[in-house]
Amino acid sequence: MANETTVPTPKPNTLEGWIKLLDAVRLPVPQASHDRVCKAIADSRSSMRDIAELMQESPALALSVIREANQHTHGSMTEPAENLEVAINRLGLKRTEELLARLPALPQEEIPVALRQLQLISQHATQQANGLFASRLARLWQDIHWGSLLFLSPLWPMALTHPQLLEEWELRVIHKGESASKVEQKLFGVRLLELCQTLAEVWHLPIWVLQGYRLLLKEQRVLVKVLRIARDSDHCLHQQQRLDADPALRRWLNQPANTVLLANGLALSAQHAWDSPHSLRWQYLTSLYLQVPLDELQQQSHQQAAQSARNHAMPDLWHPAEALLWPWNTHRIHSGLLPAAPPSAEDLVTWRKHCAELLVEPSRFTNAMHLTTCARDALVACGMRRVMLLMADRSQSSLRVHQIAGLPKESAMLNLQVSQSTVLQRLLAQPAQVRLTPANNAQFSTHLPNSLRSQFSGEHLLFRSLSSNGRVVMLVVADQGGGPFSEITVQAFGKTAQCIEKALHSFTNRGN
């Protein structure tokens, strides 16, 4: 229940700036996976393959080892290591162990959600690739596996340093249909594909990863030409005749390297909906590549998604296999599983104005209600949809509602007895923050008053207790409608809480 603190990373706006920033990021590795690999390396009975298989449990660990091996290979006559087993052999166990010691190892739940979500998409893509292509191209399974896993890896460090930018990109490009080039120029200053390709080159990632980005950047006309043929899925013979009439196009389509792009296209587009136009495009292309009917391809792809969910799903992450249980036209944005939108630029201007008012010394607030109104408005401006501010009485035995936003009027009458809830007791014992997620919701909700918990439907909720002169005086409860939070709003929530706490201190001591 320690306070969450986030140090924002300055946002670059040039390709060189982004490469310098992202190349320097050390991705966190799950502690359990890190420990298992260290133990295996120390065990003389472990083979390189054994160690490589354990490393595969952590995409970040696999990427770090392959990057390290290829960094030392660069400039020599040796080909870059295309898979993990070759990379470990190149490095040797001693240097691999030294690399492990340098990597940050954290409990799984402490690794930021945005990074774990993106890595889950990569794992889903790998399952799609292995299930759909590797059995047909058995001799190339290593290239298919590692290319698919690492294709999105240039975005992993961005998910750690600037998750809110990726959130906003998804919301505007995928869900609102805005122009990708315009959105990316505004958010990043560069095209995302160009950034990914350049970082993949710097890291010497497998050649099929580079080919995938090159195709998306340089060969879009050919891709569109193939897609026109792929859409004619009800006439397989006609499709084949059109490909036979253009041997260069047929050769281009049949490149094994395309499996990496197809698998990631399927996995990434399924995050929104299996039947969206974006997802159907990749299904058509994959159907044509495999020369199987579309409905058969869809069945196989759904089976691979279910297998991926069995292997890698986590309670607080979204896996598109879950959508296979829903009505077919249901999209993730309708289900409340998509992270809430970050605050707009205009909202952030309002938020900063309220925070500045909270920080003025000596305090300008004439009474507690005046202060809490400003605090409430600041929380709403940073993206919170439902807010409740409760004040503790002098004995800290009860909490009474002072301000609400986005809640029924009757919730303003709430008066909570602290003795009836162990969570409230802990929050009032010292300033702390609790974030409810699907992973811990059941555990915490049973220890919260029903009268409070019932006001906030959903599985995502934030609690923050604030102190003045050494004792907790206020409890803030807020959410973004019950679905996953926008990470930029979570960060702003923490900063707002700090401003409110300073305002409480100034207000309490204004006569001294």
Q: If you average pLDDT over residues 224-253, what whole number do you get?
A: 89
Going by pLDDT thresholds of 50, 70 and 90, the confidence category of residue 10 is: confident
Going by pLDDT thresholds of 50, 70 and 90, the confidence category of residue 74 is: low
pLDDT in tens, 88-124: 999 999 999 999 999 999 998 888 888 999 999 999 9
**Average pLDDT along the chain:** 88
Q: Please report which helix (H) or strand (E) contains residue 143, including its range.
A: helix 141-150
pLDDT in tens, 325-357: 755 554 454 344 467 778 888 888 899 999 999
Report pLDDT for 143: 92
pLDDT in tens, 392-441: 999 999 999 999 999 888 899 999 999 999 999 999 999 999 999 888 88
Q: Answer with the residue of higher pLDDT: 65 or 322.
A: 65
What percent of the chain clears pLDDT 90, i.e. is strictly above it? 63
Question: ∠60-51-90 over CA atoms, to 5°?
Answer: 80
Output the pTM of the full model. Answer: 0.67
Q: Is the pLDDT of residue 289 over 90?
A: yes
pLDDT in tens, 76-94: 546 788 888 889 999 999 9
447 CB-side CA count, 13 A:
12
Report pLDDT for 212: 96
Going by pLDDT thresholds of 50, 70 and 90, the confidence category of residue 1 is: very low
Closest CA to 213 of 230, 231, 195, 238: 195
What DSSP string describes 32-65?
HHHHHHHHHHH-TT--HHHHHHHHTT-HHHHHHH
CA 40 to each of CA 85, 250, 411: distance values in angstroms, whole numbers, following the listed order = 14, 46, 56
Task: Name the fold adopted by 345-508.
Answer: Beta-Lactamase (3.30.450)
Residues of the chain with CATH 3.30.450.40: 345-508
Which tokens is 174 given? Answer: 């995928």
Q: Answer with the residue of higher pLDDT: 481 or 292.
A: 292
CA 223 to each of CA 132, 214, 215, 262: distance values in angstroms, whole numbers, following the listed order = 20, 12, 8, 12
Report pLDDT for 251: 93
